[in-house]
Amino acid sequence: MEEGMTEDLLSYYKRAMKLTGADVDTYSPLVLAYIGDAVYEVMVRTKVVDKGNVQVSKLHKSSSHLVCAQAQAHMSHLLKEQLRPQELAVFKRGRNAKSATSAKNASITDYRLATGFEALVGWLFLTEQFERLIELVSLGLEQLEGD
């Protein structure tokens, strides 16, 4: 997509949704993880759906193993060396955040690493670093599928 086209679409989106442009750096890491979870889920579902028209149960099975805490924790290990200093700081804030809930089917370590990963995804999305977001998630998914 061309740069001007992306900016036009983004401007339209912000106007249509009546977004105020809050300061993302003031958000708690759990808020960043909240939006990051949704963004990552959409990215994974888009990738799974792109493989063809199949039963929804098969789509769910294909995507659920990529969005679980264990997979996100593993991805955070795979990507850690690729993170820039500010990205690493956001990841660590998310990883170290104290949540009132915990994962049903994951260790606390995996859950915290996954929260860090989701916080990073949310921060990249909200700061409109879409190319970097896509680069990291694509690389992480490739490495996960290669393991």
Give the residue numbers marked as catalytic. 37
Which tokens in the block code for residue 8?
A: 């036009």
Query: What residues contact 90, with CB distance under 8 A and at least 6 apart?
Result: 29, 32, 119, 120, 123
Report the distance separating Cα 122 and Cα 34, nearest Å. Answer: 7
Report the distance separating Cα 2 and Cα 84, nearest Å. Answer: 25
DSSP string, 28-76: -HHHHHHHHHHHHHHHHHHHHHTT-S--HHHHHHHHHHHHSHHHHHHHH
Report the distance separating Cα 104 and Cα 108, nearest Å. Answer: 10
